[in-house]
A and B are shown apart, each in its own frame.
Chain A
Amino acid sequence: MAPEVHGLVGAYLLNALEPGERAEFQAHLGVCPECREEVDSLRAATTSLAEEVAATPPASLRGRVVRTASETPQLPPVVSAGRRRRRWLAGVVAAAAALVMGVGVTVGVVVRDDDPPATTAAEVMSAPDARMHKEDTSGGELMVAMSHEMRMVAVDTAHLERPAGMTYQVWWHTDTGMESAGVLDEEMAVAVPVEDGDLMVTMEPMGGSDVPSEKVLFQMPAERL
């Protein structure tokens, strides 16, 4: 770990970095487990500083906060990426069986051997450094959250309409081409590792596609997420 970057751990936790530097440091956290560990280990101590300035809020605030909550929809829990992968594998097994039986089936899903341990979309979205992007589409609101610390992106389609027979698919468009990062056949949300390219979310026929359709709901380069 570069000593200069490591030196920024304190300033980062105290939110004392300029915005550009914060983004740089967060990107560094993604490739520096040692730094992440230190940040995590110091977070509780940092927030304990709040105890010095605790103050009773105006009594009227409580009612406003609770009323706002009563009018705000809550996000549903999210299915873990681990279950997603098992289902993908099941899909591949089914496809292989179909081929044996002489039925032509194409499954637009890639099972990767180098998948990291399962990270849930919930974990990514609740990461303290998560940056949330909300995209209003004709079918509802799509949410994309990026955690540099975890080097993961969460895509949440819970508030999108889902026409019969259709699904949503997540892609990375990199220098080496277009790669499917996940198909949301049953689950509403998915967490995928960050890659060096554009993140895309498209609507596809159930089961996913080999190449994205024209129906692009979201596209953004990783460095802007």
Chain B
Amino acid sequence: MRRALRVVGEESSPDPEDDLDPAAVLAAVAGGDLDAFGRLYDDLAPLVFGVARRVVRDPSRAEEVTQEVFAELWRQAARFDPSRGSLRTWVLTIAHRRAVDTVRSAQASRAREEHVARREPVDVAGPEDAVVTAAEHEGVRRCLDSLTPLQSQAVRLAYYQGFTYPEVAELLGRPLPTVKTRMRDGLIRLRDCLEGHDGA
């Protein structure tokens, strides 16, 4: 662990869009430094809370999810392995999964089916009181816009609203295999665009 952190400090982070200094901040957090933990919170909380609020739709539940995610980060700080991805990617992976699991466990399947039928498929995210840097946000927005409409809808309905892919298929009136494929294609195109391989 110590060796891995040093390597990251010397070289660039494996995730180029990570603007934290993971080595220094994490080492301090792992050593029980609450001030460093607070700085990590300041950096990541808007993203974690934003995802949680979007998916669970209930601000107080979103706060609970955010608290759980950061408690986990605190507990596991000494064990985080930067070689498997950036700290931000790790935290946001946990945050989204928790948010989705929270919203699904809270809904009985029947109630959820009604919920699906009621909800409009076009309620997708717009920029809110975002604190992400303009350039970063611009990049994601531009790349999301480069997806085909179906790719974009499938990705957004799943990520921002926590729908399963059969629910997405139902909402979009498309066959299951089409929706699965569009989700994957959409993420591949998003990745290539963010990495600057889209020729744009």
Q: Which residues of A does B touch, CB under 8 Å?
A: 6-11, 13-19, 40-58, 61-62, 64-66, 68-70, 72-78, 120-123, 125-128
Which residues of A have CB within 8 Å of B166?
Answer: 18
Which residues of B have CB within 8 Å of A7?
Answer: 177, 180-181, 184
Most chain A CB inside 10 Å of its own CB: which residue of B66, B127, B162, B191: B191
Q: Which residue of B lies closest to A11 (CB)?
A: B165
**Which 7 A/B pairs are nearest by Cβ-Cβ distance?**
A10-B183, A10-B184, A45-B191, A47-B92, A122-B79, A14-B158, A57-B49
Q: Which residue of A lies closest to B182 (CB)?
A: A10
Q: Is the CB of B50 within 8 A of A54?
A: yes
Q: Is the CB of A62 within 8 A of B38?
A: yes
Complex Cα distance, B42 from A172, in Å, reads 44
Q: Is the CB of B1 within 8 A of A54?
A: no
The 8 Å CB contact of B158, one of A15, A18, A74, is A15
| Min CB–CB distance A21 → chain B (angstroms) | 9
Q: Is the CB of A61 within 8 A of B45?
A: yes
| Min CB–CB distance A145 → chain B (angstroms) | 10
Complex Cα distance, B179 from A7, in Å, reads 10
**Given A52-B127, A74-B74, A18:B164 Cβ within 8 A:** yes
Which residues of B have CB within 8 Å of A47?
Answer: 88-89, 92-93, 96
Which residues of A have CB within 8 Å of B1?
Answer: 77-78, 120, 122
Which residues of B have CB within 8 Å of A44?
Answer: 15, 17, 85-86, 89, 191, 194
Complex Cα distance, B66 from A64, in Å, reads 11
Which residues of B have CB within 8 Å of A76?
Answer: 78
Q: Which residues of B does A touch, CB under 8 Å?
A: 1-2, 15, 17, 30, 32, 34, 37-38, 41-42, 45-51, 53-54, 59, 63, 66-67, 70-71, 74-81, 83-86, 88-90, 92-97, 100-101, 104, 125-132, 136-137, 140-141, 144, 155-156, 158-160, 162-166, 168, 177, 179-188, 190-191, 194
The 8 Å CB contact of B160, one of A53, A125, A127, is A53
The 8 Å CB contact of A11, one of B53, B137, B158, B190, is B158
**Given A11-B183, A69-B37, A49:B160 Cβ within 8 A:** yes
Q: Is the CB of B90 within 8 A of A128?
A: yes
The 8 Å CB contact of B46, one of A14, A56, A70, is A56
Complex Cα distance, B77 from A77, in Å, reads 9
Complex Cα distance, B180 from A9, in Å, reads 8
The 8 Å CB contact of B130, one of A11, A55, A70, is A55
Which residues of A have CB within 8 Å of B37?
Answer: 66, 69
The 8 Å CB contact of B17, one of A48, A49, A56, A127, is A48
Q: Which residue of A lies closest to B93 (CB)?
A: A128
Q: Is the CB of B128 within 8 A of A53?
A: yes
Q: Is the CB of B187 within 8 A of A15?
A: no
The 8 Å CB contact of A16, one of B88, B141, B168, is B168
**Given A16-B163, A16-B168, A126-B76, A50:B92 Cβ within 8 A:** yes
The 8 Å CB contact of A15, one of B47, B85, B96, B194, is B96
**Given A11-B180, A69-B37, A128:B79 Cβ within 8 A:** no
The 8 Å CB contact of B89, one of A11, A43, A120, is A43
Which residues of A have CB within 8 Å of B140?
Answer: 48-49, 51-52
